[in-house]
């Protein structure tokens, strides 16, 4: 698949009808040729962590644990590792497909500088807090800075007026927060002892809110969020907690989800034109993990790729200290591909919920409704 091609974009020439009208337009007045977008064109800008990262971490100085640019990642759809933490496509890839857009590549990909369809700023390991995995990832605030920086070449690409329209019509999708809660726990950090659960969640939500307002100030109006999935029951955390879900993490995630829903309601009443979608990943993933057969999976708790119990040791690809790993025969039978990330098939299920889910899973809009908003 050529991600550089989009049937929705055509070149707009300013000289149409000029010959028949005998109008002479000086070359200097034409300026640069710009891409002319259809009236219904909606771009997709993507922020967050490994759930949404299309390979930005391939291009920064980081360690293997924040990269997926090695086998068996990408084995099923792309047939090579792209930097996505999946056996194939991830959630934003499917959202782009549903919106009739090409796959949106990583913003840092050196061969991609066309932004009329959108850009992906997400970074595996990133959090809303700047200090989360500091020095190894692109935190959410830096992602916002990259978005602001991208607007300059976007204006050159399609013109200043068209760029302003595109930014206001675009949908901004974000998955962030999981690393803010999991990283301190797995590092045995004293951070959770320094704050009450409510105070810590308030810091995470506060940082996210600052970035949302930053995008809004740049012209963004339509936002889509996912709440925290039940990460305390992921293979990665089960294997370090004697097979049990980590209740300390679960408590934080539930607090986060309530706070996120509340703050988005507040922003909806405070910011003119602000529209949002929030998808209940917690309930969807929990239901799928506990009833995998109902959703066409065979295994809901163990990962396809990894080692140890539940294949929960983060050794997929053998790039870390643990070189030996197991790889299942058919990834689509599993909810988890590695110790903490969904398979392509599970990502499709989640993307469908975001795109066209009813009010029981996605509210007050689904992403399809946001795309269609004018």
Catalytic residue list: 50, 338, 341
CA angle 169, 171, 172 (to 5 degrees): 130
The SS3 of residue 307 is strand
Question: In angstroms, rounded to a whole number, what is the distance separating the alpha carbons of residues 108 and 140?
Answer: 15
Q: Which two tokens stand for residue 54?
A: 């299309």
What are phi and psi for residue 11, nearest 5 degrees? Answer: -80, 130
Question: In angstroms, rounded to a whole number, what is the distance separating the alpha carbons of residues 175 and 231?
Answer: 13
Contact 202, 253 (CB under 8 A): no
- Which residues on neighbouring strands pair with residue 106, listed in sequence order? 120
Give which of 75, 83, 79 is closest to 59, Cα–Cα.
83
- Which residues on neighbouring strands pair with residue 279, listed in sequence order? 226, 362
Q: Which residue has the tokens 């990962």?
A: 303
- Distant-in-sequence, close-in-space partners of 228: CB < 8 Å, separation ≥ 6: 177, 178, 181, 253, 256, 257, 281, 282
Question: In angstroms, rounded to a whole number, what is the distance separating the alpha carbons of residues 9 and 25?
Answer: 25
Q: Which two tokens stand for residue 111?
A: 């061969």
């Amino acid at each position: 698949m050529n991600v550089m091609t989009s049937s929705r974009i055509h070149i707009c020439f300013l000289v149409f009808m000029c010959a028949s009208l005998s109008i002479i337009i000086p070359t200097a007045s034409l300026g640069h040729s710009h891409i002319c977008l259809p009236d219904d064109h909606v771009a997709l800008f993507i922020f967050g962590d490994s759930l949404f990262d299309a390979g930005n971490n391939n291009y920064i100085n980081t360690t293997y644990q924040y990269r997926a640019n090695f086998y068996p990642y990408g084995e099923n759809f792309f047939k090579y590792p792209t930097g996505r933490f999946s056996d194939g496509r991830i959630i934003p890839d499917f959202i782009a497909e549903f919106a009739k857009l090409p796959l949106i590549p990583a913003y840092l990909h050196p061969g991609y500088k066309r932004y009329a369809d959108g850009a992906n700023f997400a970074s595996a390991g990133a959090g809303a807090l700047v200090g989360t995995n500091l020095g190894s990832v692109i935190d959410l605030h830096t992602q916002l800075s990259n978005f602001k920086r991208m607007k300059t070449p976007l204006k050159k690409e399609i013109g200043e007026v068209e760029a302003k329209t595109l930014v206001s019509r675009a949908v901004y999708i974000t998955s962030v927060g999981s690393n803010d809660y999991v990283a301190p726990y797995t590092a045995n950090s004293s951070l959770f002892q320094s704050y009450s659960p409510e105070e810590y969640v308030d810091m995470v939500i506060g940082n996210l809110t600052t970035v949302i307002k930053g995008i809004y100030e740049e012209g963004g109006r339509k936002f889509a969020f996912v709440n925290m999935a039940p990460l305390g029951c992921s293979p990665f955390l089960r294997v370090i907690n004697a097979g049990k879900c980590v209740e300390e993490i679960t408590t934080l995630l539930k607090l986060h989800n309530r706070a996120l829903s509340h703050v988005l309601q507040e922003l909806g009443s405070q910011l003119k034109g602000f529209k949002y979608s929030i998808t209940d990943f917690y309930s969807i993933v929990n239901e799928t993990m506990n009833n995998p057969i109902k959703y066409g999976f065979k295994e809901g708790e163990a990962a396809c790729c990894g080692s140890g119990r539940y294949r929960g040791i983060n050794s997929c690809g053998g790039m870390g200290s643990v070189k030996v790993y197991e790889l299942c025969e058919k990834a689509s039978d599993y909810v988890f591909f590695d110790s903490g990330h969904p398979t392509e098939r599970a990502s499709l299920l989640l993307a469908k919920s975001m795109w066209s889910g009813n009010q029981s899973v996605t509210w007050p809009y689904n992403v399809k409704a946001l795309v269609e908003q004018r």
